Amino acid sequence: MKKIDNIKINKDFTDDELIKYICKKFSINIDDILEWHILKKSIDARNKNDIHYLYNIAIKFKSENKYKKFKDYEFPIPNIIVNCNKNFRPVIVGAGPAGLFSALTFIKNGIKPIIIEQGKTVEERQNDVNLFLKNGKLNTNSNVQFGEGGAGTFSDGKLTSGINNPLCNIVLQDFYKFGAPKQILYLSKPHIGTDNLIKIIRNIRNYIIENGGEFLFNSKVVDFSIKNNKVESVTYINDGKEYIIPTSNVILAIGHSSRDTFYKVFEKGLNMESKNFSVGVRVEHLQKNINLAQYGDKTKLKLPPAEYKLAYHDKETGRSCYTFCMCPGGTVMASSSEENTIVTNGMSYFKRDGVNANSAVLVNVTPADFSSSSPLAGIDFQKELEEKAFIAGGKNYFAPIQKLVDFMNNSLSNEVGEVKPTYLPGFTFYNLNLLLPNFVTDTMKKAFVYFDNRLHGFANPDSILTGVETRSSSPVRIIRGENFMSNIEGIYPCGEGAGYAGGIMSASVDGIKCALASLKNNM
């Protein structure tokens, strides 16, 4: 195929209109085209007076010689088929993105995995989440953190990542295959949305089952049998009864909130270390104001709800503050997974048509901030903030909130302005300066001023802050070698919970990597 990059487009074209325009612009006879694909579509909004789209496209011509002026191109889809022993059955602990894409990789290689998930199917899980939002009734095994699809199911469904790996293309193609909109294949910032993710995850599950895989829901892994430094079996509990599955290959895709399992694998002797993560709040603005700040008011293009990504570094303290998991037209989600805690996250539907935009505003935390040198000390740091937020909110799963102007002035008012909080089941006004560590609040205050200079209106006095966000990433890393295996032979720490990913895309890619490592070690 041939590739054409950086095609500037100033109109909202249909696909038919787009290819006709490109043919005219580059002197291409449309009858010479066998097939064509959009490789990338992005928005260039640097000049508010000339906002436009940039396209990269690939074209397959009847005669390549006729169009030698265009550079050659091949779709970068790597081979993930391994000539391995088919007589082993891996156990995957966790049905989040890492676990599901690990399972898909096994299935594609003729291996039939067993997936153990402590939560429920995604449909049942959605009912539990809705019940929690409605009346504060928390199911500690089925919530925004736990259940089929993992924590990313109730998010914006972003498929962006800082990694540059050909396996990303497999992840995008599989999401499309199982029901995601085609545009995820080419948008520079693809997202799926919670509404689509729920359907897609169900389709992935059905495909795995149809091809011999097995899911064990409502099943909590509680132990591992290890002999001569090799894993021999996994023990799980379902409905109060213990079951043992013999296996020599365990993909440990447990997610960043599986604290009981962190303690268990530490007890079993897996090498672990504490790691950096971040804590802070969710900030809400009116989406229309974010649109205005990013796009201005002159463009006639039908642009999607605007996004932002901001970062600040304090040279005096060495602390950093950044926005994370920005959800255009979204809501702030109640994301607790343990009783008597408050945890927040952000969520958007595919259309992103809510009134508010929200994002995490986070400050980095290092092991030096923890109360001990234990590899698990970061968990205690998180939990202490979550329990304090529960008390501050009124001990009923209401979240503590504060207007930005009050936060900046270390004061408190009891009414909202133009920005209305979206957090359910409810909220309580509270001075977040009393909740978060001083190094977090001090850094955040400097960052809000800095961000406002980069994105006008970010420090709008009526912006709402909701506490606390503590689960942006895992507080631990389960150490693995170059063969992706832990110090215990046959256990593969995987994905976000093990400390090797930071979102749906990177977790999915890591799931593929760990499955491939397991396959190659069984050749």
Residue 207 φ then ψ, to 5°: -65, -45
Whether 218 and 262 map to the same domain: the answer is: yes
Tell me the C-alpha distance between 466 and 468, whole Å: 6
**Domain of residue 24, CATH code:** 3.30.70.2700
Torsion over CA of 96, 100, 102 and 106, rounded to 10 degrees?
A: 160
Q: H/E/C letters for each residue in 476-522?
A: EEECCCCCCCCCCECEEECCCCCCCCCCHHHHHHHHHHHHHHHHHCC
Residue 234 φ then ψ, to 5°: -125, 135
Q: What does the pLDDT average to over 205-210?
A: 98
pLDDT at 406 over 90: yes
Q: Which amino acid is at 313?
A: H
Q: What does the pLDDT average to over 22-46?
A: 97
- In this prediction the pTM is 0.96
Q: Which amino acid is at 317?
A: T
* Mean pLDDT (the chain, rounded): 97
In a domain, 84, yes or no: no
Whether 6 and 67 map to the same domain: the answer is: yes
Confidence of residue 77 (pLDDT cuts 50, 70, 90): confident
Q: Give the least confident one: 75-79, 247-251, 283-287, 386-390.
A: 75-79
User: What is the model's pLDDT at position 184?
Assistant: 97
pLDDT at 162 over 90: no
User: What is the model's pLDDT at position 21?
Assistant: 98
249 Cβ contact list (under 8 Å, min separation 6): 88, 89, 90, 91, 231, 490, 492, 518, 521, 522
User: What is the model's pLDDT at position 436?
Assistant: 98
Whether 315 and 251 map to the same domain: the answer is: no
Q: What does the pLDDT average to over 232-236?
A: 98
Whether 457 and 493 map to the same domain: the answer is: no
Q: Where a domain ends, among 39, 72, 105?
A: 72
Tell me the C-alpha distance between 101 and 172, whole Å: 11
Q: Where a domain ends, among 72, 107, 130?
A: 72
**Domain of residue 164, CATH code:** 3.50.50.60
Residue with the two structure tokens 């809501």: 331
pLDDT at 517 over 90: yes
Confidence of residue 519 (pLDDT cuts 50, 70, 90): very high
User: What is the model's pLDDT at position 84?
Assistant: 86
Whether 455 and 501 map to the same domain: the answer is: no
Strands 114-116 and 214-216: parallel
User: What is the model's pLDDT at position 64?
Assistant: 86
Q: Where a domain ends, among 72, 100, 116?
A: 72
In a domain, 295, yes or no: yes
Tell me the C-alpha distance between 393 and 412, whole Å: 14
Tell me the C-alpha distance between 239 and 188, whole Å: 45
pLDDT in tens, 240-282: 999 999 999 999 999 999 999 999 999 999 999 999 999 999 9
Tally Cβ neighbours within 10 Å of residue 348. Answer: 27
Whether 138 and 7 map to the same domain: the answer is: no
User: What is the model's pLDDT at position 87?
Assistant: 86
Exposed (0-12), middle (13-18) or buried (19+): which is 364, by Cβ within 10 Å?
buried
Whether 61 and 194 map to the same domain: the answer is: no
In a domain, 313, yes or no: yes
Percentage above 70 pLDDT, the chain = 100
- Helix or strand (DSSP H, E) at 441: helix 438-454
Tally Cβ neighbours within 10 Å of residue 6. Answer: 10
In a domain, 248, yes or no: yes
Which of 220, 201, 225 minimizes the C-alpha distance to 125? Answer: 201
Q: H/E/C letters for each residue in 22-87?
A: HHHHCCCCHHHEEEEEEEEEEEECCCCCCCEEEEEEEEEECCHHHHCCCEECCCCCCCCCCCCCCC
DSSP-derived letter for residue 7 is E
Whether 265 and 313 map to the same domain: the answer is: no
Q: What is the DSSP string of 139-186?
A: -TTSSSSSSTT-GGGGS--B---S---THHHHHHHHHHHTT--GGGGT
Residue with the two structure tokens 């894409």: 101
pLDDT at 76 over 90: no
User: What's the gap between Cα 459 and its chain centre?
Assistant: 26
pLDDT in tens, 309-344: 999 999 999 999 999 999 999 999 999 999 999 999
User: What is the model's pLDDT at position 32?
Assistant: 97
Q: What does the pLDDT average to over 224-240?
A: 97
Whether 234 and 102 map to the same domain: the answer is: yes
Total structural domains within the chain: 3
Confidence of residue 75 (pLDDT cuts 50, 70, 90): confident
Tell me the C-alpha distance between 333 and 161, whole Å: 22
Question: What domain range is 61 assigned to?
Answer: 2-72
The residues with which 252 forms a beta bridge, in sequence order, are 93, 493
What the block records as the tokens of 86 is 């088919």
User: What is the model's pLDDT at position 19?
Assistant: 98
Whether 295 and 444 map to the same domain: the answer is: yes
In a domain, 86, yes or no: no
Long-range contacts of 202-207 (CB under 8 A, 24+ apart): 202/121, 202/122, 202/123, 203/178, 203/179, 204/100, 204/104, 204/174, 204/178, 205/95, 205/100, 205/121, 205/122, 205/148, 207/104, 207/107, 207/178
Which of 379, 381, 399 minimizes the C-alpha distance to 467? Answer: 399
425 Cβ contact list (under 8 Å, min separation 6): 132, 133, 134, 135, 136, 334, 396, 397, 398
User: What is the model's pLDDT at position 161?
Assistant: 87
Confidence of residue 420 (pLDDT cuts 50, 70, 90): very high
Exposed (0-12), middle (13-18) or buried (19+): which is 20, by Cβ within 10 Å?
middle
User: What is the model's pLDDT at position 117?
Assistant: 98
In a domain, 77, yes or no: no
Tally Cβ neighbours within 10 Å of residue 61. Answer: 18
Whether 424 and 495 map to the same domain: the answer is: no
